[in-house]
Copies of this chain bind each other. A is one copy, B any other.
Amino acid sequence: MNLDYIIPNDWSILEEGFDPENIKASESLFSIGNGAMGQRANFEEKYSGPTFQGSYIAGVYYPDKTRVGWWKNGYPEYFAKVLNAPNWIGINIYIEDEVLDLHTCKKIEIFKRELNMKEGWLSRSFIATLQNDIKVEVNTKRFLSLDMDELGAINYSVKPLNSDASITFRPYLDSGITNEDTNWDDKFWDTLNVSHENNQAFIQAKTMKTDFYTCTFMESQVFIDGKSMIIDPNISADANSASFSYNYKVKQNETYTIHKFGGYTVDRNHDKYELVTAAKKVLEKATKAGFSTLLDNQKKAWAKIWDMADITIDGDVKAQQGIRFNIFHLNQTYLGTDARLNIGPKGFTGEKYGGSTYWDTEAYCIPFYMATKDQSVARNLLTYRYKHLQKAIENAEKLGFKNGAALYPMVTMNGEECHNEWEITFEEIHRNGAIAFAIFNYHRYTGDYSYIPEMGLEVLIGIARFWHQRATFSKDKNKYVILGVTGPNEYENNINNNWYTNYIAQWCINYAVENIERVESDFTTDFTRIMNKAKLSKAEIEQWQEVAERMYFPYSEKHNVYLQQDGFLDKELITVADLDQAQRPINQKWSWDRILRSPYIKQADTLQGFYFFEDHFTTEELERHFDFYEPFTVHESSLSPCVHSIQAAKLDRMDQAYTFYLRTSRLDLDDYNHEVHEGLHITSMAGTWMSIVEGFGGMRVKNDMLTFEPKIPQQWDGYSFKVNFRHQILKVIVNQGQTHFELEGHKELQIEVNGKSVMIAPNKLVTV
């Protein structure tokens, strides 16, 4: 595969020239989505070469029977798989009697693919010479509507260039599809009914086991040189598919075009018996408006998103393309309008990892959504976890905890754990801390305390109970210890006293207690309700506090740093710089035991704690820990470089910060980890956003106030971003030498810049 074949451009992802080696990578990179559904950039027409077909519906999954080598007690029975849904984009093209297939054409010229991020559409154009020597020019454009999130639209044109040709468009629906990522080659879909009516077709299908009912639908219109035509299609249908054939004798240089409208209606939004009716309404509205009006609406909808979420970077096209690519995919994946949904690690671009929700959401995505959307979006994300609290309690019970202790799952779709590696599922328990931290972070940023008495406190109590029970008292140390964990650095398993885990456990207990006290004094009714429900006594709280107060933290007097875990200093401390480059990435070169006994860090672990709890430590302490741990960090997790970028910027190490920034923002575009064909790293894209806003912009919230310490890499002329802070929008423009602030709002906003207080009046440019 060619890395780095994407052409730099401010607003688009561009590929020029047809290279079958890049097909799967481009299918990932050019993926489109609208929060409710999404799909890999598969071709509409037949493609017989290697391809990874994928179209996904938010919240529709399949519980695939767990596959393990050796079963351990407590493993979940099922792994919730992201589910390839019936295909509605397919349009087979017949030129005379030959099917158009880029894998078998004699010649392909001026192939070009564009993902226009500004306007939210995907296009392709090429000239192909078929085996029958007919040369055709093809232009396609496709988008998934933001306005009507059950709808997608395709404009597909074919122009014969060297002769007249009988051309057939054969749009189809197909529910006989498979998943790339299946444990047992199970069939995931049960097709219930295939029907058609006029130019419309519908496939009703439900998922096996989970019984999600869906209707996949389509309707097409055809045109010659832009003029609408009525062509009576040849219809064919079988148990899993329906297709219409629109044949026309196209003259040389005439353009034959099909507009295909399709998509899914699902029983999350409609009664399961009304899915066809709902689909008909969508199609009626779509065909009435027509492709070009729908496209105009699409541009407007994306303009609105960009108006709030865009980050501009001047003088560095690759950096600019990188950040927009990240922001674009985050918005394609999750728009925050439905509290039942969440942000899967691969979004709608692949199937790997399954599930929809990891700690990534709380640790990385929430800051992005808080600052670029209305704060209700972040609240929805918190509410999602509140709704799963009972399941988290049951999950903890399976592992022997009691009395309402909650352990949120490592990976989940419906609140149940669905991961199955003991060292992760049972031991990567720090995830519980991120869920509590997100509540703190939401309150810190939005000032909205109401979430805590309404919902959050119950979550905090369940989590505090978990940590209290999970810690054990070491007589030897005369302290509480936490044994057998995996920290954020997954290159250590089953370790004792992971500093990050112990620290966040202590913090969770203290934060829970602090909020119990505040709710007790300020929200009496809620307090009574919660205490009755949780059956929480003062005595129990005191036991928690005993654990928090006497928590053990491994520390090296010699190095004057907290140790990542017990025994870290027993390792052979050879830095990454001194490691043979041929050995990297170590997760592809080394056996697991070698990784584990090495000092190499997959992702920020101790430093992740310094990131979350920055104001608990001095800058000197940060610097010491950064200098100690960064040299051992291999950043083989997509979640690692952003934190290092932010901390390097804070420590005025701008070259390092810039390098980390490029690595996080172009991780997929430049395919650093050789895996982009499997899908994109969606959740870590929010980390890229953080590395600009929190890293270079130095933005923090302190005492209900935004503070900034703006810095700029020397490679850039300037950059700008906007944040939605407590219902006002602040635009920040950083140039070499000065920073401008502009407030879209109604009342003046006090901020702090480099430690100095600055008052920003609405709608005036303030330069610092």
Chain A interfacial positions (CB closer than 8 Å to B): 66-70, 72-74, 398-400, 420-423, 426-427, 472-477, 481, 483-484, 493-496, 558, 566-567, 569-573, 587-594, 596-597
Contact = CB atoms under 8 A, between A and B. Distances in A.
A399 B597 CA distance: 12
A556 to B, nearest CB: 8
Given A477-B570, A570-B476, A570-B496, A592 B74 contact: yes
Contacts of A572: 472-473
10 contacts: A67-B68, A68-B69, A70-B421, A427-B593, A472-B571, A474-B570, A476-B558, A494-B495, A496-B570, A567-B567
A328 to B, nearest CB: 30
B494 A596 contact: yes
Nearest to A477: B570
A475 B556 CA distance: 13
Contacts of A587: 73
A484 B472 CA distance: 22
B422 A496 contact: no
Nearest to A479: B570
A400 B594 contact: yes
Contact of A569 (B421, B475, B570, B589): B475
A399 B594 contact: yes
Given A67-B68, A73-B587, A422-B591, 16 more contacts: A66-B69, A67-B67, A68-B69, A70-B420, A70-B421, A73-B589, A73-B590, A426-B593, A426-B594, A472-B597, A474-B569, A476-B558, A481-B570, A483-B567, A483-B596, A493-B494
B483 A571 contact: yes
B569 A476 contact: yes
Contacts of A74: 590-593
A72 B483 contact: no
Contacts of A422: 591-593
Among A473, A567, A569, residue most surrounded by chain B Cβ atoms (within 10 Å): A567
A591 B72 contact: yes
**Complex A-B, nearest 4 residue pairs according to Cβ-Cβ distance, in ascending order:** A74-B591, A426-B593, A476-B569, A483-B597
A245 to B, nearest CB: 40
A591 B426 contact: yes
Contacts of A588: 73
Among A68, A477, A592, A594, residue most surrounded by chain B Cβ atoms (within 10 Å): A592
A69 B570 contact: no
A393 to B, nearest CB: 15
A49 to B, nearest CB: 26
Contacts of A592: 72-74, 422, 426
A277 to B, nearest CB: 42
Nearest to A589: B73
A565 to B, nearest CB: 10
A578 B475 CA distance: 18
A481 to B, nearest CB: 5
A485 to B, nearest CB: 8
A478 to B, nearest CB: 11
A474 B570 CA distance: 5
Contacts of A496: 567, 570
A73 B597 contact: no
Contacts of A569: 474-476
Contact of A420 (B69, B474, B571, B596): B69
A71 to B, nearest CB: 10
Nearest to A474: B570
A68 B558 CA distance: 42
A423 B594 CA distance: 12
A352 to B, nearest CB: 11
A525 to B, nearest CB: 38
Nearest to A420: B69
A758 B589 CA distance: 61
A593 B421 CA distance: 11
Nearest to A73: B591
A591 B400 contact: yes
Contacts of A400: 590-591, 594
A495 B493 CA distance: 10
A582 B570 CA distance: 39
A381 B643 CA distance: 56
Nearest to A400: B594
A567 B472 CA distance: 13
Contacts of A423: 494
A567 B570 contact: no
A427 B567 CA distance: 17
Contacts of A421: 69-70
A70 B572 CA distance: 28
Contacts of A495: 494
A69 B420 CA distance: 7
Contacts of A591: 72-74, 398-400, 422, 426
A466 B474 CA distance: 35
A410 to B, nearest CB: 12
A471 to B, nearest CB: 10
A437 to B, nearest CB: 22
A67 B427 CA distance: 22
A573 B484 contact: no
Nearest to A67: B69
Nearest to A485: B593
A571 B571 CA distance: 23
Contacts of A472: 570-572, 597
A593 B427 CA distance: 7
Contact of A566 (B399, B477, B558, B567): B567
Contacts of A73: 587-592
Nearest to A69: B68
Contacts of A593: 74, 399, 422, 426-427, 484
A420 B70 CA distance: 8
A421 B589 CA distance: 18
A476 B589 CA distance: 28
Given A494-B494, A593-B484, A597-B484, A69 B72 contact: no
Nearest to A587: B73
Contacts of A477: 570
A112 to B, nearest CB: 37
Nearest to A70: B421
A761 B493 CA distance: 61
Among A68, A590, A596, A597, residue most surrounded by chain B Cβ atoms (within 10 Å): A597
A686 B571 CA distance: 39
Nearest to A481: B570
A587 B71 CA distance: 11
A67 B421 CA distance: 13
Nearest to A496: B567
Contacts of A566: 566-567
Among A571, A589, A591, residue most surrounded by chain B Cβ atoms (within 10 Å): A591
A558 B476 CA distance: 10
A568 to B, nearest CB: 9
Contacts of A596: 483-484, 494
Contacts of A567: 483, 496, 566-567
